[in-house]
Structure 1
Amino acid sequence: MLRTPKILTACALAVFATGAAQAQIMDTPASHAVIMDHETGTILYSKNGSEPMIPASMTKMMTAFLVFELIERGEISLTDKFTVSEDAWRRGGFPSGTSTMGLAPGDTPTVEELLHGVIIMSGNDACIVLAQGISGSEEAFARRMTALAHELGMNSANFVNTTGLEGVGHVVSAEDLAKMAKLTIDKYPQYYDWYDMPDYTWREYTQANRNPILSIEGVDGLKTGHLEVSGYGLTASAVRDGVRRTIVINGLDSMAERGREGERMMRMAFQSYDLKVITPESVELPAVKVWLGQQQTVPVSLADKMTIAGHKAALEKAKTEIVLDSALQAPVKSGDTIGTLVVTIEGQSPIEAPIVAEANVKKLGFFGRAVEGLSQLIAGSDG
């Protein structure tokens, strides 16, 4: 009987680790944290990143995104005007004691002005006015936010309001907030520029942008959040030397800690993390043994490109192996998927990619199979 180990061979391939939280390499006081490579959407670092959390005002990224979508669909326009209700004023204006655009009952701001109030001033009143003007109620608009989030693959999201103020079951994961940032940047660059504005004035009331790291190299968005129950959070994105990275942090104890940790995480995102795309042409894999074939081995290659990303310190610990579910037996056709290339590092989830045969291998004739079987029998006896 042929005895073939499932893990066939190790491959010489320089890679970086990816995926789950790499506490042995880096940690953060944030309860939830994510670093994402923007171009590929790859999560470079995650601490409880897929766990639903209370996003506070980072919710407003989704509020604004839905409005962008409705503008694109022609349901509303930037010049449409909505009247500020007393309800919106009481729950989101100055009487609420929360972040506000400074609207008053009876004001008729345009959609564009309200979006500035949401994005730059973090105005709860602006969110409610948009929701009531578009959907009739904040609850109805929040349901549309959740439906759109799920449609876009952000399945952790459940929005019960537009503001991020505390609400039962109002949650979204850090990874999905990073996806939200990517969607905003990629689909609506004309509106994304507003996230970089240093301040905004509605009538006599001026509010500075709350993002504490806007002055750091390359940072051009996005949104802060804070509730007593959630702690201080930040979603931020930056571009350096043509590379964009996005961070999400939440659960910090103070504004000062949010600023320090936001700056540190953004620095780490560029200096300590990397991404490598391995193409079939860029790596030579060892040939795989074929049982009962006219050739003893078959050359193999990656079926498609493979993205490996994570902390640079993981490079020395990374291992690559070709894994077969069972012994490879002739006949083999060029292009057949015959196994998996697995990249592993201690404490991480493995990264896998299929490998394919690069040549045809015909099956031995009857005499050849008999000789091969006898050889295997003798080899087994020696063992």
Structure 2
Amino acid sequence: MRVSLWSKYAVAAVAAVVAVAVARPSFAQLGQVETLAKQMILLDYDTGTVIFEKNADELMPPSSMSKLMTAFMVFEQLEAGKLRMDDMLPVSEKAWRIQGSKMFVPIGGRVKVEDLLKGVIVQSGNDACIVLAEGIAGTEERFAEMMTERGKQLGLKSSTFRNASGWPDPQHLMTARDLAILAQQIIARHPQYYHFYSQKEFTYGIDGATKKPITQGNRNPLLYKDGGADGLKTGHTEAAGYGLTASAKRGDRRLIMVFNGLKSMNERSREAERLLELGFSQFDNYKLFTAGAVVDEADVWLGNAGRIPLVIDRNLALTLPRQTKGNIKVTVSYDNPIPAPIAKGTPVAKLTVMNRDTVVSEVPLLAGADVQQLGFTGRIGAAVSYLLWGANKQ
């Protein structure tokens, strides 16, 4: 086994990287925080590093935050060309009768898909969710099954959907971690639709009493603050309390936050601001390697080359506390020497990044070139040379 170490200062000399599109999970959260939320997770979108978490894998009623999955399903239908923004979907009696937050769709009428999406995202309309679900799957029950199945494919390991709106059901459950993953997926896969989540109000329908248009505001409290927030979705039921799945971007950094179980809208608003501020002010991203960079070289056993470059196949950046100084260690480990033949692109080593005693990231390193195995005579000579003088004398 060969191991190489770099300090934080050596790593800083490596070329800067661009942000990755979809975050990767880290091994441990960076800090501890007290929160009134029953469940919570705050992570960096670009690095996937969990900054804070509390009961992030505990099953909970997601309330209207599960509408994120409903919208995601619609986005995929639009992407596949199975649905168009100007398609008109029929309103069933079931959709019209649903209680809770509503878009106020007309019974027996037809509503444009784009308006229904705004009804779901901006107004949190339970009726709009049912119209979309029935328009895509025939029934809301079948649509919920599709949501659960697609969620598993996206990595929502603990999520089970029983309806399209988040209407209370003892088996309709998610985790804060799953909601954070879903938010990542929406931003990464469907950026062309993400702007709906920052829309502050939407007008649809006519009030029967006043005969005036019905305008409803977005319930996300962070959209009305100067903190960089641009989405995603609130939730509230008596059983779950007040929750929020949110994202905010400041400069080059984007954070995703999920929490649930607060007692009031005011408490939700204050806690959302506080947690985001901690994530932005006390932590930062450190860029380490660019995809394709040669991280190290390894000795080769019985090959037509004595050494082989070890290449990283992805951009690598870390989220760390700002006060971290000199605590970062980068370790490259592999079996030494690596026996030929070696195909370019084959994983042959591992890069591990640690902050003190905590593993922050682990990624494979790939062979940067093809190395052929020597013929019988060459192998005999190389073996003797290696035993006498080491790999550099092959």
Q: Give the Å deviation of 1:7.
A: 6.4
| Alpha-carbon distance in 1 for matches of 2:6, 2:59 | 38
Higher relative contact order (CA 8 A, sep 6+): 1
| Alpha-carbon distance in 2 for matches of 1:135, 1:277 | 46
Q: Give the Å deviation of 1:127.
A: 1.3
* CA offset digits 1:95-153 (Å, max 9, x no partner): xxx22223454444333322222111111122123223443321111112223333444
Cα pair distance change 1:25/1:319, threshold 3 Å? farther
Q: Is 1:317 equivalent to 2:327 in the alignment?
A: yes
Gaps of 5+ in 1: 1-5, 93-97, 374-383
Match of 1:351 among 355, 359, 362: 362
Once the two structures are superposed, the pairs formed by residues 78-117 of structure 1 within 5 Å of their partners are: 78-92=85-99, 98-103=100-105, 105-117=107-119
Q: Which residue of 1 aligns with 2:272?
A: 262
Larger Rg: 1
Q: 1:280, 1:301 within 8 Å by CA — same for their partners in 2? A: no
Q: Which residue of 2 aligns with 1:380?
A: none
Q: 2:42, 2:256 within 8 Å by CA — same for their partners in 1? A: yes
Cα pair distance change 1:166/1:348, threshold 3 Å? farther
Tell me the secondary structure at the aligned position of residue 163 of structure 1: coil
Query: Sequence identity, in percent?
Result: 36
Tell me the secondary structure at the aligned position of residue 214 of structure 1: helix
Once the two structures are superposed, the pairs formed by residues 122-137 of structure 1 within 5 Å of their partners are: 122-137=124-139
Tell me the secondary structure at the aligned position of residue 220 of structure 2: coil
Q: 1:131, 1:141 within 8 Å by CA — same for their partners in 2? A: yes
Q: Which residue of 1 aligns with 2:84?
A: 77
Q: Give the Å deviation of 1:27.
A: 5.1
Q: Which residue of 2 aligns with 1:45?
A: 51
Is the strand fraction higher in 1 or 2? 2
Which amino acid is 1:203 matched to? I
Cα pair distance change 1:319/1:135, threshold 3 Å? same
TM-score by length of 1: 0.76
Gaps of 5+ in 2: 13-24, 208-213
Which amino acid is 1:140 matched to? R
Cα pair distance change 1:321/1:21, threshold 3 Å? closer
Q: Which residue of 1 aligns with 2:122?
A: 120
Match of 2:206 among 203, 206, 226: 203
Q: Give the Å deviation of 1:275.
A: 4.6
Q: Give the Å deviation of 1:20.
A: 4.1
| Alpha-carbon distance in 2 for matches of 1:74, 1:243 | 33
Q: 1:292, 1:372 within 8 Å by CA — same for their partners in 2? A: no
Which amino acid is 1:149 matched to? G
Q: Give the Å deviation of 1:191.
A: 3.3
Q: 2:300, 2:308 within 8 Å by CA — same for their partners in 1? A: no
Q: Which residue of 2 aligns with 1:381?
A: none
RMSD: 3.9
Tell me the secondary structure at the aligned position of residue 87 of structure 1: helix
Which amino acid is 2:63 matched to? A
Q: Which residue of 2 aligns with 1:57?
A: 64
| Alpha-carbon distance in 1 for matches of 2:317, 2:116 | 41
Q: Which residue of 2 aligns with 1:233?
A: 243
Which amino acid is 2:48 matched to? T
